[in-house]
Every structure is written in C-alpha cells, then in structure tokens.
Amino acid sequence: MGEHHLVSTEWPRSTRMLLGPNTVANSIGDIHRNKRKVFSKIFSHEALESYLPKIQLVIQDTLRAWSSHPEAINVYQEAQKLTFRMAIRVLLGFSIPEEDLGHLFEVYQQFVENVFSLPVDLPFSGYRRGIQARQTLQKGLEKAIREKLQCTQGKDYSDALDILIESSKEHGKEMTMQELKDGTLELIFAAYATTASASTSLIMQLLKHPAVLEKLREELRAHGLLHSGGCACEGTLHLDTLSGLHYLDCVIKEVMRLFTPISGGYRTVLQTFELDGFQIPKGWSVMYSIRDTHDTAPVFKDVNVFDPDRFGQARSEDKDGRFHYLPFGGGVRTCLGKHLAKLFLKVLAVELASTSRFELATRTFPRITLVPVLHPVDGLSVKFFGLDSNQNKILPETEAMLSATV
C-alpha cells in the first residue's frame, strides 16, 4: 500500500531493458497511474465477455489435440503453447500463419528464458540472447500490428489491441508504434508463463483429487452444463454462467493459494519507515512474499491441504483480514489481468471436467520447482483420452477449427 510514496517497484535491470521502458510494469508515479487507466479497459466486463467465446474455442481445440495424441503429453510445455496462442489469437487478434506462429513461439521462449538473466551484454550471454529475441519479436509484432491496423479500419473494436488503441485515444494520447510493440509484448508476457503455471497446477490437482473433479462435475450438471448421462452441453459459455459456479470459483482460488505462480515482488524504499517495530531504511531493497504469506496466514486451516471448500460460504477463510490472500498482489500494483487469468482457468476447468478423461503417465507425481515460475520439474506427463466424463467418444470436430475462426 506504500507504492509511490514509501516504496517503488523494482525489477532487475535485465527485466527492465528486455520488457522495455514503455511498459506498465516499468513505469512509476503518474505515468504508471495513467498507463493503468489506459490498460484497465482491456480487462473490463464487456471486454472479457467478448474474449470468452474465443478463449473457449482455443481451449476446446487444444484439448482435442491433446486427446488425439497417441502418447502422453508434457502438460507444462503444452500449456505454454496454449497461453501463447491465446495471447496472440484472442488478446491481440493477430492472423499469423501457423508456421510463423510456431517460430514466434520459439523466439518468445528464448526471450522469457533470459528476461531475468545477468545484465551483461557479451556475446553468447543470456542477456545478449534475450536482446536478440526481443529484436526479432518486435519485428514480428510490428508486422502483425501494421497488417491488423490496415484490416480493422472502420470495424468495431473486438480484441485487446483494438481496445488499447481506442482507450489511449480516449485518454488524450495516441500510442506510437514503439509503445504499441512494448504494450503487446507486455500483454503476451503477462498472459503467458503465469497462466501456463496455474493451468498445469489445476490439472495436477484434479488428477490428485478425483473427488474434487467429481464435485465440480456435479455443479456443472446442476447448472445444465453437463447432462445427467455425462455428455457436455453444446454452446458457448457466458460470464454470468461462470459467476454462478461457486464451487468452480473455490477450486480456482485454492489452486492460486497453494500454487501461486509468482513468489512475490521487489521494492526499493523511498523513505525510511517503520513496520511492526522494525525500521526499514531509505534505499534498501525489500521483498514481499506471496507464498510465505499464504503459508503463514492464520486464517487458513491445514495450509498444506488442497481444500477448495475453505473458500465456500460456510467457511470463507479468505474473508478474515485484508492481506492474507493475495495471489495477484495488492495495492496499486495489483495484477491488471487477474480477471482474465481467472476466466481462462475457469473455462479450462469446465472443459476438462465436461469433455476429458486424463491419467497421470508416471508412477508418482513430480516435485515442484519455483523458478522462474512454479511448475513441475518434469512438466507433468499426462495421457489424455478423446472421451467425455462418461467415457463416451466425443463426436468428430465439425466445422470451425480455431485457426479458421479467430
């Protein structure tokens, strides 16, 4: 809560340089406030409603591909491809050919792998590889932005990039091409690794806790999203429908409590202050820990147990106290895309519960590593089957593959 007057956000130099100076994450003070106002419209209720059908198509298409694969898949790697595709196709509305999209994904992985590298610009260093990846990405993004601007002139605004451009005009400043490139790169970065991490954790917990999966299916059945015979209902989801699925909300909250993708954040102290009797001197670097907060918060009972019911109306453990549950941070630096992330995870959970059967392909569950984001060390090997929850074969895909519709 002391951002801008007691403390200021602090990223490693490599991260600041590779993400770019025009990003929300790297801005401070009034510039940060103004950028958040511009970007916040991307995640409004109306915007999320417009993204939802496309997100559902992305996920359905991906689950079909996973189910048709003869061998087990690496869930974390595939989840990264899924969230990257969601960012490119849904958020940004780019019509990039599949072959070019695959190449762009490989370059983006190289960019992400080096975004927290030692900031030493020497040949063959991670930082140099990150710079080269950034330059390649920016060229590809500029080409896609220019093509999109030519194709969408005079059309209704329907994706995040359209909304971003219009929102910046409404706030009295038209974005330059460099600002657009930095903005799109930041949107991809925000939607990519953390969402892939949470998606993998969700699948792992549904595998570990079949009773939770069955209870989720019961809720879907009660809301007409899963017929009594087990077959998934047809049609697209809506925000109002998802908001009425209270147990689904509890499941997602518990995944984010126990498996928060990001450990915390760093701040620089702007002026000396006191916290719980300790003096924090000006100029110090401090860190707030999301994971430690969740592990030690007195409001949570049996903190190491995966228990979605802790967020149900009967217990509401997260309602006691203000800063015990903060998977998306807090204060003026709260994650702007948190509602989009939760929406994506909810749709993924609904589709998994209603159209898929999946089994762990290894004898035991893998251990978890926390760097650079939380994920299983082996990526989580899982075999998906082209079956619905009643083990009936899914009908062959009919007309619209995602690439033809988004």
Q: What is the CATH number of the domain that holds 316?
A: 1.10.630.10
Question: Helices 246-258 and 177-208, interaxial angle, to 10°?
Answer: 100
Question: Considering the domain boundaries, does residue 316 fall inside one?
Answer: yes
Residue 91 belongs to a domain:
yes
In a domain, 224, yes or no: yes
Whether 1 maps to a domain, the answer reads no
Residues 340, 191 contacting (CB under 8 angstroms): yes
Q: What is the pLDDT of residues 141-197, one digit of tens each?
A: 999 999 988 886 555 557 999 998 888 888 888 899 999 999 999 999 988 999 999
Structure confidence at residue 395 (pLDDT)? 37
Report yes or no on 288 lying in a domain: yes
Domain with 263, as residue range(s), is 7-405
Is residue 264 one of the residues assigned to a domain?
yes
User: Do the domain assignments include residue 135?
Assistant: yes
Q: Do the domain assignments include residue 2?
A: no
* Number of domains within the chain: 1
Residues 283-313: pLDDT tens digits? 999 999 999 999 999 999 999 999 999 999 9
Beta strands in 10-155, from DSSP E residues, in sequence order: 73-74
Against a cut of 0.85, is the pTM above it?
yes
The residue among 383, 385, 390 whose CA lies nearest residue 354 is 390
Distance separating alpha carbons of residues 260 and 125, to the nearest angstrom = 30
Instruction: List, in sequence order, every residue forming a beta bridge with 360; answer none if it has no partner.
Output: 382
Separation CA 165–CA 162 (nearest Å):
5
pLDDT value for 282: 98
Which burial class, exposed, middle or buried, applies to 279 when counting CB atoms under 10 A from its CB (0-12, 13-18, 19+)?
A: exposed
Q: What is the pLDDT of residue 371?
A: 83
Task: List, for the chain, all residue ranges whose pLDDT scores fall below the cut of 50.
Answer: 228-230, 388-406
